[in-house]
Chain A
Amino acid sequence: MLWTLVRHELLMNLMTFRFLVTIIASMSLVLAGSIVLTDNYERRLASYNKDFQKHQEGNFSGKTYSSFMPELDRAPNPLSLFNQGLDKRAKNSLQIRIGKVPFLWGDVSRNTGFSNPFRYLLADIDLVSIFQILFSLLALVFAYDAIAGDRENGTLRLILVNRVGRGWIVLAKYLGAMLCLTLPLLMSFLLALLLQLQSNAIHYSADDFFRIGGIFLTTVIYTSTFYLIGLFISSVIHRTATSLIVSMFIWVVLTLLYPNVSLFLVNRFIDTEEKVKQADQAIDQILEQFYWTEKVPGNPFENPLLLKGSKSGVTSSSTTHLKKDITFIPHESEVHVPTVKAYFQELTAARIRTAGRIWQIRETAFAETYIRKSGIARNALRFSPAGLYHLSTEAWAGTDLARMQDFFKAGRQYRETILDYFYDKKAFSSRQWFASDKGAVRWDDAPRFSYQPPSVFEDASNRALRDLLLLFVLNPILLMITFAVFSRQEV
């Protein structure tokens, strides 16, 4: 019985003008979107490859230990085509310094593959935002007359004359329309994938296909949520025209206005400046302490100059000698080398200590300001299905804040590894810390950095599934309410 009803609904929907429009609109928008996004991704990848090459050569070319200052790059995420999240906007490189803990904080110039910085004026849209706007609208367009229309035509009464439960009717309408909506959605996804795989730049692993599957599933559930909202409105309101108007108002509020208004207000009224200023002051204080009070006495490069007559390669001229490469030390200055060694050992130890203290302040300040603010914003978004959809797909795509932080965490771990490696090599107290006259440092056994993003299951279980579940829970609730309303109604 159910099957007959579903088939009937399906046929009714497939033959309509709106189904045709759905197919055409979604396919053409996905086509246009994919072309822009793929092109943009190719540019970003090229820019990343260039940087990566440059840094790969540069990172281990230092002749002394103190000149080890590697730059690590974050590869652009191909899934940012689906949901760009923070992939383009967060820092995409980090520097490993002995005296600084790498962090998602601090100003860096943008490097996202655009040769034209004005390009940020043009809006960038990703596939998920196309689906978010288009399919929620289409779901409501399919739903607004599902019950109200049948009631107006009198067909509802006709169907109910047969021995069909009202629950079956609601369920059949739901299944029929969802099949109809899933078809164009599936086609759009396949088209997008096809176009993306045409490009040589994009390679998806099995893990990525799981992620895309997750995005697809989330999109289906999102569409279904809006269909059920429409069905509910259609069962409550008796005239199709009114039902359509109400649906549209709800659509505008849920997808367009609520997310933007809530973020606008959160951004305006959660103030972070005060705490950031406090943290900056505390950091300045520590730095001042480091430079003035804690500064190790006996700088061997100021009066008196200990290594007289030595020659230097590339060095930085700051008073703390971040980078030192002495290529020649005359014999008569050799007696002073142990003093210089001791000086550097103490200086480096002080610097590592200072870095640790600054990092502690930063970490707490960051968690209390920017992270907290963005967390509040995310929670505000969760009150709208569109927000839930966005958050869940962002986690599936791995372009969200957690992923960006994960990259920096890997960078910090790498710094720790390097420090351990230096301790093992006794690098801080060695001559090669500051001088390469007795041979340059060999980096053969130095640890290399490689970033392994967390697997899809980790991302899903931590974040994506939570929002997906919230979105999903709305479905049975809405279905139940619709059924309750519909079964008590006079037809």
Chain B
Amino acid sequence: MLWHIVKRELFEQVNSLRFALAMLLIVFLMLVNAVGHIDEYKTRQAEYGQQVSAYSARLEGNSNNLYKLVLNGPGELHKKPSPLSFCAHGSENNLPKFASGGRAGWGIGSVSGIWRLKYSGFPSIKAKDIFPVFLKIDWILIISNVLSFLALVFTFDAISGEVEHGTLRLTLSNSIARRTVLTGKFLSCLMSLGAVFMSGVLVNLLLLYLSGTLQLNAQEWSRIGGVFVVGLIYIAVFIALGFLISTLANNASTSLVILLLIWVIWVILVPSMLGTIMSGLNQPSIRRGPSPVYFSRSGLRERYIARGLEDAAPTRKRPPTPATLLWAEFLNEEAREGARLHRAYLNAQVNQIQIAREVNRISPTAIAQYAVESLAGTGFQRHLNFLKNAERYAEEFNDFLISADRADPDSLHVPFVREGMSDKPVSFESIPKFQDRVRLGDAFKGAMLDVTLLLLFFTVLFAAAHVSFQRKEI
């Protein structure tokens, strides 16, 4: 019986004007998306390749002396561009493309601070920024703005229209449960919109594939699959919303007017206003990044001076003198403290954005966007994962410095003071290289919460539609 209703509804929908318009719109937008992204990934990949080779060259240049590596660090660690940026652009233009592991920027006498990880690298204003602002036509824009709109256009008269025409009474005069009618209508709507979405996606992927832009591995294909599923769930949320309002309203036009107002506020205005308001109220607690000279102002240096830091310089004498050991301790602690301050500053900044994102999750549009960004490997969550990768690498790099020093029999093995460490070249091959990558686990884990929230939205709205349909007098 259910299948019968689905078939009938589907047939009706596919033959309607709105289905044709929807198909036209989605396929056109997906074409625009594909055309816009052909070669874009290649350019970015080439740019990334250049940056990585510059990084390797720098590392190789520094590898002729172990201590140079200690001072200069690994250099700029670049974020790998995502091949799925056509799914979600994720405001990558506003995010740093690298984290830098460089010099501390201070020195007392012959001793300089050792390297540490800094999280700067925000893009600057460029001449091309005079171009008017616009939304990038990516999958998530098409899903969140256009497909949700289409879902409402497909469903606004599903119940109220049939009530007006009297056909619903006719249907219900047969021995059909109301929930079967609702489920049948829901499934047919989902299937027809899914078909529209699917055709857009296929056209898009085909064009990208033929142009040679799309060379993905299994992991990336599964992420695209994930994006598709998130899109479907998101559409389902709006179909359920459409049914709910359609059962509540008395005539089709009223229900569409209400739906449109809800849509404008929920989809377009809330994600761009609410989070901004909340983040405005929560300014970061730390307003300035640590400057290279902070160590002279913080108590750290005084503490060590009290212990006689500046009385004697570190020496190469064997066994290590107390001064050498004290300097080594100071350098280590200063580097740790410096890294901690950089991290705290970053955390304060990230926190403000996290609050805004939490608030924005009132709107399913923001939820879907975060989920898709996470799966596509772009945007804020991905940036945080990249920074985590960089931090992991920073530890690995320090471990390497210590073990390379251990391997040198002439060294005093007192890291990280110059006199206590090896001055010999290290083999470039043995230095760990930074490799940024998106872990499938991270991508899905990042999307998990958002997908759950979307499902929750769907369940609540669908249940509400169900209840109000059950109670409706026809």
Q: Which residue of B lies closest to A112 (CB)?
A: B125
Contact B272 A124 (CB under 8 A): yes
Partner among B129, B137, B258, B287 whose Cβ is within 8 Å of the Cβ of A89 = B129
A-facing residues in B187-219 (Cβ within 8 Å):
none
A201 to chain B minimum Cβ distance, whole angstroms, is 15
Contact B271 A36 (CB under 8 A): no
Partner among B29, B126, B145, B269 whose Cβ is within 8 Å of the Cβ of A29 = B269
B-facing residues in A120-154 (Cβ within 8 Å):
120-125, 130, 133-134, 137, 141, 144-145, 149
Determine the chain B residues whose CB is within 8 A of the CB of A253 once the complex forms: 25
Contact A39 B280 (CB under 8 A): yes
Instruction: Assess whether B176 is interfacial by the CB under 8 Å rule.
Output: no
- Centre residue among B157, B257, B288 by max chain A CB count within 10 A: B257
Interface string of B249-265 (1 = CB under 8 A from A): 00011101110110011
Contact A268 B36 (CB under 8 A): yes
Cα separation A39 to B350 with both chains bound (whole Å): 20
Contact B131 A261 (CB under 8 A): no
Instruction: Assess whether A263 is interfacial by the CB under 8 Å rule.
Output: yes
Contact B253 A249 (CB under 8 A): no
Given A133-B264, A256-B145, A260-B134, also A119-B279 (CB < 8 A): yes
Instruction: Assess whether B247 is interfacial by the CB under 8 Å rule.
Output: no
Contact A272 B125 (CB under 8 A): no
Given A40-B280, A125-B269, A265-B36, also A134-B132 (CB < 8 A): no
Contact A118 B350 (CB under 8 A): yes
Determine the chain A residues whose CB is within 8 A of the CB of B17 once the complex forms: 242, 245
Contact B127 A240 (CB under 8 A): no
Interface size class of A (residues with CB under 8 A): 35 or more
Partner among B94, B273, B288 whose Cβ is within 8 Å of the Cβ of A36 = B273
Q: Which residue of B lies closest to A276 (CB)?
A: B127
Instruction: Assess whether B135 is interfacial by the CB under 8 Å rule.
Output: yes
Determine the chain A residues whose CB is within 8 A of the CB of B284 once the complex forms: 115-116
Interface string of B127-142 (1 = CB under 8 A from A): 1111111111100010
Q: How many A-B Cβ pairs are below 8 Å?
A: 182
Determine the chain A residues whose CB is within 8 A of the CB of B277 once the complex forms: 32, 35-36
Instruction: Assess whether B64 is interfacial by the CB under 8 Å rule.
Output: no
Contact A33 B273 (CB under 8 A): yes
Contact A259 B260 (CB under 8 A): no
Contact A117 B134 (CB under 8 A): no
Instruction: Assess whether A171 is interfacial by the CB under 8 Å rule.
Output: no
Determine the chain B residues whose CB is within 8 A of the CB of A89 once the complex forms: 125, 129-130, 133
Instruction: Give the interface segment out of A182-190, A366-374, A453-461.
Output: A366-374
Contact B261 A25 (CB under 8 A): yes
Contact A366 B127 (CB under 8 A): yes
B189 to chain A minimum Cβ distance, whole angstroms, is 15
Instruction: Assess whether B238 is interfacial by the CB under 8 Å rule.
Output: no
Cα separation A133 to B135 with both chains bound (whole Å): 14
Given A264-B134, A268-B36, also A244-B264 (CB < 8 A): no
A-facing residues in B19-35 (Cβ within 8 Å):
21, 25, 29, 32, 35
Contact A108 B124 (CB under 8 A): yes
Contact A264 B136 (CB under 8 A): yes
A261 to chain B minimum Cβ distance, whole angstroms, is 6
Instruction: Assess whether B95 is interfacial by the CB under 8 Å rule.
Output: yes
Instruction: Assess whether B356 is interfacial by the CB under 8 Å rule.
Output: yes
Instruction: Assess whether A471 is interfacial by the CB under 8 Å rule.
Output: no
B-facing residues in A1-24 (Cβ within 8 Å):
17-18, 21
Instruction: Assess whether B451 is interfacial by the CB under 8 Å rule.
Output: no
Cα separation A109 to B125 with both chains bound (whole Å): 6
A28 to chain B minimum Cβ distance, whole angstroms, is 9
Interface string of A351-377 (1 = CB under 8 A from B): 000000000000000100011011001
Cα separation A75 to B40 with both chains bound (whole Å): 37
Cα separation A354 to B275 with both chains bound (whole Å): 49
Determine the chain B residues whose CB is within 8 A of the CB of A107 once the complex forms: 124-126
A154 to chain B minimum Cβ distance, whole angstroms, is 16
Instruction: Assess whether B91 is interfacial by the CB under 8 Å rule.
Output: yes
Instruction: Assess whether B457 is interfacial by the CB under 8 Å rule.
Output: no
Determine the chain A residues whose CB is within 8 A of the CB of B149 once the complex forms: 248, 252
Partner among B91, B131, B283, B380 whose Cβ is within 8 Å of the Cβ of A115 = B283
Contact A105 B127 (CB under 8 A): yes
A181 to chain B minimum Cβ distance, whole angstroms, is 15
Partner among B126, B161, B272, B379 whose Cβ is within 8 Å of the Cβ of A241 = B161
Contact A117 B253 (CB under 8 A): no
Q: Which residue of B lies closest to A242 (CB)?
A: B17
Contact A381 B132 (CB under 8 A): yes
Q: Which residue of B lies closest to A141 (CB)?
A: B257
B380 to chain A minimum Cβ distance, whole angstroms, is 6
Instruction: Assess whether B45 is interfacial by the CB under 8 Å rule.
Output: no
Determine the chain B residues whose CB is within 8 A of the CB of A119 once the complex forms: 279, 352-353
Contact A263 B153 (CB under 8 A): no
Cα separation A161 to B281 with both chains bound (whole Å): 61
A-facing residues in B353-386 (Cβ within 8 Å):
353, 356, 379-380
A-facing residues in B69-117 (Cβ within 8 Å):
91, 94-95
Instruction: Assess whether A409 is interfacial by the CB under 8 Å rule.
Output: no
Contact A32 B91 (CB under 8 A): no
B32 to chain A minimum Cβ distance, whole angstroms, is 6
Instruction: Assess whether A104 is interfacial by the CB under 8 Å rule.
Output: yes
Instruction: Assess whether B389 is interfacial by the CB under 8 Å rule.
Output: no
Cα separation A378 to B132 with both chains bound (whole Å): 8
B252 to chain A minimum Cβ distance, whole angstroms, is 5
What 15 additional pairs, Cβ within 8 angstroms, besides A241-B161, A381-B132? A36-B280, A89-B125, A104-B130, A105-B127, A108-B124, A109-B124, A109-B125, A116-B353, A119-B353, A123-B273, A141-B260, A241-B253, A256-B145, A261-B32, A390-B132
Ordered by A's residue number, 25 sampled pairs between the chains whose C-beta atoms are within 8 Å are A17-B254, A25-B264, A39-B280, A40-B280, A106-B127, A107-B125, A110-B122, A116-B353, A118-B350, A122-B353, A122-B356, A123-B273, A125-B272, A133-B269, A141-B257, A141-B260, A149-B253, A244-B253, A249-B25, A252-B146, A260-B135, A261-B137, A267-B134, A373-B131, A374-B132
List residues of A whose CB falls within 8 A of some B CB. 17-18, 21, 25, 29, 32-33, 35-36, 39-40, 86, 89-91, 104-110, 115-125, 130, 133-134, 137, 141, 144-145, 149, 240-242, 244-245, 248-249, 252-253, 256-257, 259-261, 263-265, 267-268, 272, 366, 370-371, 373-374, 377-378, 381, 390, 401, 404
